[in-house]
């Protein structure tokens, strides 16, 4: 078969022929350069030859760790980093970095949000996180035991609106640094602050603040 190698934008680099395969190879290697049958810029060259376009390729090293994962059950990775020191809750400021004001808890009647929110200072947050930094949570309600007519009990979430609320980076980092820092949070749909046991991090069953 007649074939050609071209750049991603269609310039001819090299012409060659290869034996007739039952299945046309998807990849052609020319020295260390790699070419694929895919036409990345959809040029649709009018060529009667098989055209391979140069590909952006990344060579992945097959490390010992990877071989281990293939043959044995996954074990949690050993993290050698020392645990961060406990958070110093006296190191507080408002989300914009300014000092905490006496009236920051005043509710804005328009939004239902506080005038401002307290976070741990940037310096304190930088000492290390004990949880991932997550910015979006879902108002799922609180687990409640329900008894049906025939006396069967089940647990259901009650009182949530299933809406996602996204918070700012400073708040998210404060949760990650000190999960117990807050006792409640805001739902952007209900426009009220509710206890944390009504919220989970988006797409998890993990309670916010745990
Ligand atoms: Zn809600």
Query: Which of 47-61, 70-84, 135-149, 160-174 bottoms out in mean pLDDT, i.e. has the lowest?
Result: 70-84
Q: Is the pLDDT of residue 199 over 70?
A: yes
| pLDDT tens by residue, 92-115 | 999 999 999 999 999 999 999 999
Sign of CA dihedral 65, 71, 75, 76: positive
Given a contact cutoff of 8 angstroms between Cβ atoms, the answer to whether 93 and 69 are in contact is: no
Cα of 204 from ligand 1 centre, angstroms? 17
Cα of 111 from ligand 1 centre, angstroms? 13
Query: What would the two tokens of residue 45 be?
Result: 């060259």
CA distances from 89 to 8, 50, 92, 119 (A): 55, 66, 7, 9
Cα of 161 from ligand 1 centre, angstroms? 4
Cα of 159 from ligand 1 centre, angstroms? 8
- Quote the pLDDT of residue 71: 46
Given a contact cutoff of 8 angstroms between Cβ atoms, the answer to whether 2 and 50 are in contact is: yes
Sign of CA dihedral 166, 171, 172, 176: negative
- Quote the pLDDT of residue 76: 59
CA distances from 57 to 4, 31, 34, 117 (A): 19, 13, 7, 46
Cα of 96 from ligand 1 centre, angstroms? 25
pLDDT band at 14 (very low <50, low <70, confident <90, very high): very high
Q: Is the pLDDT of residue 69 over 50?
A: no
Name the pTM for this structure.
Answer: 0.61
Task: Tokens 């140069």: give the residue.
Answer: 54
Q: Is the pLDDT of residue 20 over 60?
A: yes
- Quote the pLDDT of residue 64: 53
Q: Which of 202, 174, 184 is nearest to 93 (CA)?
A: 174
- Quote the pLDDT of residue 19: 85
Span 125-149, average pLDDT: 93
- Quote the pLDDT of residue 192: 94
Cα of 138 from ligand 1 centre, angstroms? 8
| pLDDT tens by residue, 154-184 | 999 999 999 999 999 999 999 999 999 999 9
């Amino acid at each position: 078969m007649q074939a050609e190698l071209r750049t991603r934008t269609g310039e001819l680099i090299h012409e060659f022929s290869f034996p007739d395969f039952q299945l046309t190879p998807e990849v052609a290697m020319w020295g260390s350069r790699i070419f694929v049958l895919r036409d990345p810029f959809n040029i649709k060259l009018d060529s009667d030859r098989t055209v391979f376009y140069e590909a952006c390729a990344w060579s992945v090293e097959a490390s010992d760790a990877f071989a281990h994962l293939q043959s044995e059950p996954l074990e949690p990775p050993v993290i050698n980093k020392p645990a961060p020191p406990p958070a110093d809750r006296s190191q507080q400021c408002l989300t914009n970095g300014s000092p905490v004001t006496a009236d920051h808890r005043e509710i804005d009647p328009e939004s239902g949000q506080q005038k401002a929110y307290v976070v741990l200072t940037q310096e304190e947050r930088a000492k290390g996180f004990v949880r991932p930094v997550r910015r979006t949570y879902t108002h799922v309600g609180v687990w409640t035991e329900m008894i049906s007519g025939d006396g069967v009990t089940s647990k259901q979430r009650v009182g949530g609106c299933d809406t996602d609320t996204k918070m700012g980076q400073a708040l998210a980092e404060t949760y990650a640094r000190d999960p117990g820092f807050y006792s409640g949070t805001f739902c952007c749909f209900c426009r009220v602050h509710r206890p944390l046991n009504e919220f989970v991090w988006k797409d998890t069953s993990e309670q916010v603040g745990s």
